A and B are shown apart, each in its own frame.
Chain A
Amino acid sequence: MMWWRRRALEAPTTPLERLQERASAYIDGELTEAERVAFEAELASSEVARDHVDDLRQVRIALAGIGTVRAPRSFALLAPPAPVRVGPRRLEWATRAGTGVAALLFVVALTNSSSAGDTPVVFATAPRESASSAANQAGGQAGGQPAPKNDSANAAPPAAPTSTPIANTTPRSASPGAGAAGAVAPGAATPGTAPAGTPSAAPAFAPATAPAPGTPASGSASENPPPSAAPATATATAPAPTDPPPHGAGPAGAGGGMGGATTGSGTIAPSPFGPVGVPTATTGPAGAAPATAPPASPPPRLLGTPSSGATPQAATALATATATVAAFSEAGPAATATGADPFRPDPRDAGPVFARPTPDTGTVVENPMYVPAPTPVAVEAMRAPAPAGTDAAAPSSDWTGGTVAALGALTVLLGGASVAQFAARRRHSR
């Protein structure tokens, strides 16, 4: 209650209350001389006033009679109390200012984040194809028939041996390398030398099987789906051919990132997403004479992929796969455009380089096996993620959930420290 209101309520309002107050002050000797003279005159003329004074005196005497209460113990301090250490005021103000700034940033981040429809962080937008369709499109089947472009999923083995989810945080910039998930055998003559080509975040390789020799070479390779897509499978069945491969020196393409199915006739059904991954010789259109992969053995190194880390399955598949990569019938314009020699020496390992990502899109255009994706896949750094398979809800904000959470935690931390400092100083001031 405010003091003026309390004072108004406590002020005497009736003549009796005013008399009581004067009588109380009179017996305490708290009236001024003029007030005392006036009140004594009133006492002389008013019996009620006299009775009231007598009653108040009785009360006063009765109260004085109850006396003080003896303390149950000694409250003497045997030692000086421990000093209370309170931090400097400058620290208090710094903490308060920090709390305010953090709270402000938190609100801004929260507003920005919520307006942008934030989702977990990813570094790039994803193609619009759904994961399943991407996987389906990536599938291919051998068997003497060239897998139809972008529609080889039906030919993929229905029961894929393995399925490894793809990390949502796979940077899109790694797509070319990731697309090279398929292991690469530089040549049929070098079994067991599975080259590099499996980024750690790349989709899993499906185990490749190599049936007994004598069966026609058949290879089915499912394309690894694009990053951030659903788990996909990549299988490579490369039975040892009875007949020598048409192109004995050609590299194997089992599980190739190109996703093309290596057929018995040496054709590859290109995947719409397949960036790079199959070390390939210069190839021509379907039916064309396959180019010869460099026979010399340092395993080719793919740009954008680590130089080691191929899975055992892929290595086995590649080691045992003797299928020949022949002409790539629908390898796309890039394959036909670079007819002569798409490789160029890698200064680090002297191995051939199959592709070179363009600086702006991250896609590979110089690989003869490159097949452009149906939609442009552009790297947008620092973008928030989109749901798998779509960029429809990709936020346009750089405020991520982690940032908002960190700012919130900072606000709470500094606010708690500020309150604790305030409480400590208040205790100390008492």
Chain B
Amino acid sequence: MLRYQDHVFSLVLRMLTHREAAEDVTQEAFVSAWRHIDTFRGGSFRSWLFTIAANRARDELRKGVRRPTTSLDAARDDPDRADIDPPEPGPSPEGVAEQGEVRAAIEVALATLPPDWREVIVMSDIHGMDYAEIAAATGVALGTVKSRLSRARSRLREVILESRELSEVAQRLSDRR
């Protein structure tokens, strides 16, 4: 579980956009996984764990008003931002600052997406799950996954294009790869 706790927490945090709630839900997800380990039929353990975590996060989202859900808006000035792993080790200080800005901007843009879209795009583009895994974890059809992912990307694309700086940074990142 230690191997997956960052992934699970990251997924839940981006679904809920609230750190404390994400901690609680992550803990509940691990407890639930422990209790129902006998129901694991093999296959990808990460997908199975993500399914539990995503279900818990959706339950938390349905509760809705219990917790504020905009903590990522303050992510730019949040010192806890240092917890976010850098994508590449050893960048220059300018690069770190730049990546930090891009990361914060993308987090904010992610938070503007509908939860269904956000869940799918996080699973796909951040955690690298394929469509079948996403469909299994979210309980929706493969075509729905495809459609949600396309719309989420298009929305983020619009957000990125609206921000000139962000667009340039994204372009540089794309060229670097």
Contact = CB atoms under 8 A, between A and B. Distances in A.
Interface of A: 6-7, 10-12, 17, 20-21, 23-25, 28, 30, 54-77, 80-81, 84, 430
Interface in B106-153: 106-107, 110, 121-122, 124-128, 130-131, 141, 143-144, 146-151, 153
20 contacts: A10-B144, A12-B150, A24-B150, A24-B153, A25-B146, A30-B130, A54-B174, A58-B174, A62-B106, A63-B122, A66-B87, A67-B87, A69-B6, A69-B14, A70-B6, A70-B84, A72-B9, A75-B1, A76-B1, A81-B34
B150 A20 contact: yes
A7 B148 CA distance: 10
Contact of A64 (B10, B19, B126, B154): B126
Given A7-B141, A7-B144, A64-B128, 15 more contacts: A28-B149, A30-B146, A55-B157, A62-B106, A62-B174, A64-B126, A66-B126, A68-B85, A71-B6, A71-B26, A72-B9, A75-B26, A75-B30, A77-B34, A81-B35
Contacts of B149: 24, 28
Contact of B173 (A62, A80, A430): A62
Interface residues of B, number: 63
B83 interface: yes
B170 interface: yes
B35 to A, nearest CB: 6
Given A28-B131, A30-B146, A68-B10, A56 B170 contact: no
Q: Which 10 residue pairs are nearest across A and B when measured between Cβ atoms?
A: A63-B125, A24-B150, A68-B10, A21-B150, A71-B9, A69-B10, A65-B87, A67-B85, A66-B103, A70-B83
A interface, over-half SS: helix
Contact of A81 (B8, B31, B103, B121): B31
A52 B79 CA distance: 36
Nearest to B29: A75
A17 B103 CA distance: 27
B13 A73 contact: no
A65 B173 contact: yes
Contact of A63 (B23, B31, B121, B144): B121
Contacts of A84: 35
B47 interface: no
Secondary structure of the B contact surface, majority rule: helix
A11 B144 CA distance: 8
Contacts of B125: 59-60, 63-64
A59 B1 CA distance: 30
A67 B170 CA distance: 15
B97 interface: no
A21 B146 contact: yes
A75 B34 contact: no
B160 A59 contact: yes
Contacts of A23: 150
Contacts of B153: 20, 24, 56, 59-60
Nearest to B36: A430
A253 B162 CA distance: 110
A176 B10 CA distance: 86
B161 to A, nearest CB: 7
Given A24-B146, A66-B84, A55 B34 contact: no
Contacts of A55: 157, 160-161
B99 A65 contact: yes
Given A61-B174, A63-B156, A77 B1 contact: yes
A66 B106 contact: yes
B170 A59 contact: yes
Contacts of B148: 10
Contacts of B83: 69-70, 72
B141 A17 contact: no
A76 B5 contact: yes
B64 interface: no
A430 B32 contact: yes
Interface string B67-100: 0000000000000100111110000000000010
B41 interface: no
B2 interface: yes
